[in-house]
Amino acid sequence: MSPAMAMNDERIDDSHAIENEYHKGVKHLYEKGFLHKVPKKYIFPATERPTSIDDSNVAKEKLQLPIIDFADLIGPNRPQALQSLANACEKYGFFQLVNHNISEDVTRCMVDVVGRFFDLPLEERAKYMTSDMRAPVRYGTSFSQTKDSVFCWRDFLKLICQPDYIPHWPASPLDFQEVVATYTQETKHLFLAIMEAILESLGIMEDNQEEEAKENNDNNNNNNIMKELDNGSQMLVTNFYPPCPEPDLTLGMHPHSDYGFLTLLLQDEVEGLQIQFQDKWLTVQPIPNAFVVNIGDHLEIFSNGKYKSVLHRVMVNEAKSRVSVASLHSLPFECTVRPSPKLIDEENPKRYMDTDFGSFLAYVSTRETKKKDFLESRKLTYT
Ligand SMILES: O=C(O)CCC(=O)C(=O)O
Ligand SMILES: [Fe+2]
């Protein structure tokens, strides 16, 4: 074997020069031509790989997620649509939303501008690298380039979306702030409409006015929830997954649940998202111009466990890069999330402790978060 071939065949490990380059992101390594093989830093333990040795937990079939037609939700078919919504939230924790009234122009421009941001030279992107979880803009790789022992095959840019943060967002590409501001406003609007339907499906909104009269002293009761969500937090997570030479060895994102009430996920045409359903990993097939919507930890808590925040992960592939944009919505950062009193009774005792963003951020900044460990830590058990 020639020395060149031997070099090519070698798995790049932590003793090589690129050890200092990992934190710069996987796109950077890809562009430098370092990635003929997956470096050891990115190799998942055998049992956590996409096609793990225990192959029985990887379903071969694709998953047709429940499809909710937004036009039905806001039209005369609302009662049936609410029923389908409730089933999707209880059984899958996920659904695809079609006919959502956000124009294809807005979604296309969003995916496009995110792609162009990741195409900027590394120095430009690296201006936003920080390990400060509360920074209004955070660029990075894996989940945390300072804490993760095994890296995920993913670079990200996270943006806090309260309007006064817009000037902190990247000003390059030139249209970035404008396109993202339009996108975040429209997704916020859509989020609120879906939440109204979800509250109705949980039986919470019907006697709203009566409740308001009764409980207007309590600033965290149900009838205020829409007001709080209206003033609530929104975080945009944009993800870039470069092609991967050995996609069976690593993941774009390890299994996790999202923290907020709902996530609205926009993805390009490349599949990669998998959700856990009946103990199997099922691949979600992208539907053009649909949103994949999923329940987050805060809504699982608020619904007292009725609606499920489901584990999901991302596969990478050899041929194509992939872009996705997740919009995470919740209460204002300083608010407490607790099970709705309307969903607690003798048969259904309170299942979760009250929780807030402060403790969530403290939790995730002190450890490598995987699976649903934050949510698990909030569960109440009764003997
Ligand atoms: O890229 C995807 O399909 C999923 C992204 C995701 O789960 C997230 O950003 O939380
Ligand atoms: Fe997620």
What pLDDT is attached to residue 86?
A: 98
3-class secondary structure per residue, the chain: CCHHHHHHHCCCCCCCHHHHCHHHCHHHHHHCCCCCCCCHHHCCCHHHCCCCCCHHHEEEEEECCCEEEHHHHCCCCHHHHHHHHHHHHHHCCEEEEECCCCCHHHHHHHHHHHHHHHCCCHHHHHCCECCCCCCCEEEEECCCCCCCCCCCCCEEEEEECCHHHHHHCCCCCCCHHHHHHHHHHHHHHHHHHHHHHHHHHCCCCCCHHHHHHHHCCCCCCHHHHHHHHHCCEEEEEEEEECCCCCHHHCCCEEEECCCCCEEEEEECCCCCEEEEECCEEEEECCCCCCEEEEECHHHHHHCCCCCCCCCEEECCCCCCCEEEEEEEEECCCCCEECCCHHHCCCCCCCCECCEEHHHHHHHHHHCCCCECHHHHHHECCCC
Question: Which whole number is the average pLDDT over 149-157?
Answer: 94
7 pLDDT tier (thresholds 50, 70, 90): very low
List the domains of the chain with CATH numbers: 3-377 (2.60.120.330)
Given a cut of 80, whether residue 186 has pLDDT beyond it is yes
Kindly report which listed range (50-59, 187-196, 240-249, 284-293) carries the lowest average pLDDT score: 50-59
Closest residue by Cα to residue 272 from 228, 297, 240: 240
What is the rounded radius of gyration, in angstroms, for the C-alpha atoms of the chain? 21
The phi and psi torsions of 367 (rounded to 5 degrees) equal: -150, 170
Neighbours of 137 (CB within 10 A): 16
Give residue 74 CA to ligand 1 midpoint distance, Å.
27
Q: What pLDDT score does 219 carry?
A: 43
pLDDT band at 360; cut points 50, 70, 90: confident
The residue whose CB lies within 8 Å of the most ligand 1 atoms, and thus the one to mutate among 111, 152, 253, is 253
- Give pLDDT, residue 238: 98
What confidence score (pLDDT) does residue 211 get? 52
What is the 5 CA–ligand 1 centroid distance (Å)?
A: 37
Least confident of 75-79, 178-182, 223-227: 223-227
List pLDDT tens digits, range 271-330.
999 999 988 888 999 999 999 999 999 999 999 999 999 999 999 999 999 999 999 999
Report the share of the chain in percent with pLDDT over 70: 85
From the CA of 326, which ligand is nearest?
1
pLDDT of residue 14: 52
pLDDT digits (tens, 9 = 90+) for 113-140: 999 999 999 999 999 998 787 889 999 9
Atom of ligand 1 minimally distant from the CA of 258: 10
What local confidence, expressed as pLDDT, does residue 61 receive? 62
Measured from CB, residues less than 6 Å from any atom of ligand 1 are 237, 239, 253, 258, 265, 267, 272-273, 312, 314, 324, 326
- Residue 323 has what pLDDT? 97
Higher-scoring residue by pLDDT: 179, 374: 179
- Residue pLDDT, tens place only, 232-259: 999 999 999 999 999 999 999 999 999 8
Full-model pTM: 0.91
